[in-house]
Amino acid sequence: MNLVLFDFDKTIINRDTGAAYVKFMVCRNPMRLSMCFITTPLYIPFLLHKNTKFIGFSIILWLATFGMSIKKVVRLRRSFIRRYLNESATIIFKDAVQHLQLHTSNADQVVVVSGASQWMVKAIFVAASLPKVEFVCSEEAHLFGGFICKSHCYASNKVKRVRKLYNLEKYDSIIGYSDSSVDIPILKLCDRRYIVNPKARCFEKFSKSFNKTMSVLNWV
């Protein structure tokens, strides 16, 4: 049996889902939008570095949800998913769906490993009737009246989460799909690596790390 690891944003879907959700939550309320603008100097420095990115995201997420009941947040999450998937700018790559179907029909263990929050990745899979897979994603928690990023499944943290949850020695091979050079650490675990629609800068980093031991996929 193979272990197949898929990134989500810009690998299965063409957008940054977490950023779209935060924008949706902030822009729906002028007061919250103003607070996010005023506090920009506080969170921007955190967003510029991959090791502290989750702190900046947590600040914005907390401002976007502070004072809301959990029921209201859940209701807004559902509204976001519906709107997000109905927007013409949102595309789930047909090639990604085909590869997901191929691996699941092959009885591979398929895991989506994403920096996006687990609730949103799961909700999109359900709403879009995508194949049944497992999820290892970022998690949110309720703190002092708002939501924050509890754990950020990003960069080298993906490796830690996957190693903790799966015995990598038991698989015949490990296969990875990603668009981002941030995922080089987890792709190093893989026997086969597929790079999806890479931008020039990311392709250079992938090439330095893997040379010819990777394949490039142009998904639509």
Tens digits of residue pLDDT in 127-166: 999 999 999 999 999 999 999 999 999 999 999 999 999 9
Q: Is it the case that residue 212 has pLDDT exceeding 90? A: no
List pLDDT tens digits, range 109-121: 999 999 999 999 9
pLDDT of residue 183: 97
pLDDT of residue 49: 86
For the residues 194-212, what does the mean pLDDT come to?
A: 95
Q: Is it the case that residue 50 has pLDDT exceeding 90? A: no
Distance between CA 83 and CA 31 in Å, rounded?
A: 22
Q: pTM of the entire structure? A: 0.94
pLDDT of residue 72: 97
List pLDDT tens digits, range 63-104: 999 999 999 999 999 999 999 999 999 999 999 999 999 999
| 18 and 57 Cβ atoms separated by less than 8 Å | yes
pLDDT of residue 151: 93
Cα dist. 10→16, 58, 77, 99, 165 in Å? 7, 22, 20, 15, 24
For the residues 193-212, what does the mean pLDDT come to?
A: 95
Describe the strand order of the beta sheet including 109-117 as a list of residue ranges.
146-151, 134-143, 109-117, 2-6, 173-178, 192-196, 215-217
List pLDDT tens digits, range 29-43: 999 999 999 999 999
